[in-house]
Structure formats: structure tokens, C-alpha cells
Chain A
Amino acid sequence: GAVVSQHPSWVICKSGTSVKIECRSLDFQATTMFWYRQFPKQSLMLMATSNEGSKATYEQGVEKDKFLINHASLTLSTLTVTSAHPEDSSFYICSARSRWGGSTDTQYFGPGTRLTVL
């Protein structure tokens, strides 16, 4: 099956610093990638959708200047949390949809990145 990786799997940073999380589709090309955030004991909330080569579409309430998303290739998307604060501490999960899939095609999920901001 399709594999999506994330790096790092966990990161601890100081308040005010920026953190970059990578999401890669390892064995398929992903024209669309999704970034989710999950707080403890809550479900996944979609933050943004990114299409390769174009600007990401952010969900309501998600600050695009704080959560920078780059989808420069068909196998890599990055999420940068700028000027991180403790309230940004969360589990970030990316998901990728195959280049050949339609809008309803299966999304493949990465293993997640645990971000802790001190």
C-alpha cells in the first residue's frame, strides 16, 4: 500500500522559534496533501489543503502566516510553525492523495509529528 512518512516524529522547541515538519509520499506522487492537527483526546481537524505548485487553502480559523505550507514537489510538503507558542503544542498529521486519484480517492496518512513548545 501507499506509504506516507513524516519527519521528525517528535520535536521539542522553545517558545518563539520556528519548526518545520516534512511530509513525503514514498511510493506515489501526491498532487494534493492535507495537514491535520489533533489535540489530546480530540479528533483530527483539517488545517489546510495544498496542491502541488499552488498556494495552500486554509480552513477557517487557521492562521496562514503562522502555519506556512509549501508543496513544491509531487512527493514533498512541508508545514512550518512560525514563532511557536505552547498553545501550538499538538500532534500534526499529514495526508496525501494520489496523483491519479479523483477527489474522492483514498487519502494515505503519515505517522504524525508530536510538537511540544516549551
Chain B
Amino acid sequence: KQEVTQIPAALSVPEGENLVLNCSFTDSAIYNLQWFRQDPGKGLTSLLLIQSSQREQTSGRLNASLDKSSGRSTLYIAASQPGDSATYLCAVRGNKLVFGAGTILRVKS
């Protein structure tokens, strides 16, 4: 059974800092990995999707990497802003899409 773990569970940083969110998964037989953002009481916004054959994806200030063999992914956020405050979810797709518990990010102005 696939298990997805996200570390840290919560993170508070001052505005402007670069930060890294971590995601690990137990079964490396995945098709892709996806990072989402969730604002309080809201649905999911897809940020980046990395296919299993890819090593990384970039979108603006976000960069996600994938090391399938070791079961790890990182989401790098450059020059963080208060608007980045949200919960970030990692999800891996095997037979199903399995989510981690998320990292709650707070960027202080």
C-alpha cells in the first residue's frame, strides 16, 4: 500500500526566504507525482506535475524535483511571499492518486 509522507508538517518563514518542502513515498512504481496548493476551506490548485520519467518541473518561482528510485520529491519555492501561505499537498499516482497530509506554510510579511 502506497504511503506518502510530507515533512515538515508546518513551516513559518519570513518573506523573501527560499524554502524546500519534502515529500516521500514508499512504492516507487508510480506514473507521476503532483504538487497541489490548498487554501483554507478551498479545493486544490495543481502547481506542478512530474511524470515518472522526468527529474524536475519548473513554474515561475516553483521548482519540483523527483527521485523515483529513492521515493522522494521536493518542492522549492524561491523568494517566498505572504501570498504563498497555504497548505501544500504532494500526491503520487500509481493505481490511485494517494495524497500526503500536507505542509502548512506561513510566510510572514
A interface vs B, CB < 8 Å?
6, 34, 42-46, 49, 91, 93, 95, 103-104, 106-112, 114
Contact = CB atoms under 8 A, between A and B. Distances in A.
Say what secondary structure dominates the interface of chain A. strand
Interface stretch (B42-50, B54-62, B68-76, B77-85): B42-50
A35 B52 CA distance: 25
B93 interface: yes
Interface residues of B, number: 20
A93 B49 contact: no
Given A46-B98, A109-B44, 15 more contacts: A6-B43, A34-B97, A43-B4, A43-B100, A43-B102, A93-B44, A95-B97, A106-B49, A107-B97, A109-B36, A109-B46, A110-B43, A111-B42, A112-B42, A114-B41
User: Considering residues A44, A103, A104, A108, which has the most beta carbons from chain B within 10 angstroms of its beta carbon?
Assistant: A44
User: Considering residues A43, A108, A109, which has the most beta carbons from chain B within 10 angstroms of its beta carbon?
Assistant: A43
Given A104-B32, A104-B93, A106-B49, A44 B99 contact: yes
User: Considering residues B43, B44, B93, B102, which has the most beta carbons from chain A within 10 angstroms of its beta carbon?
Assistant: B43
Contacts, number: 41
Nearest to B43: A111
B53 to A, nearest CB: 12
Contacts of B99: 43-45
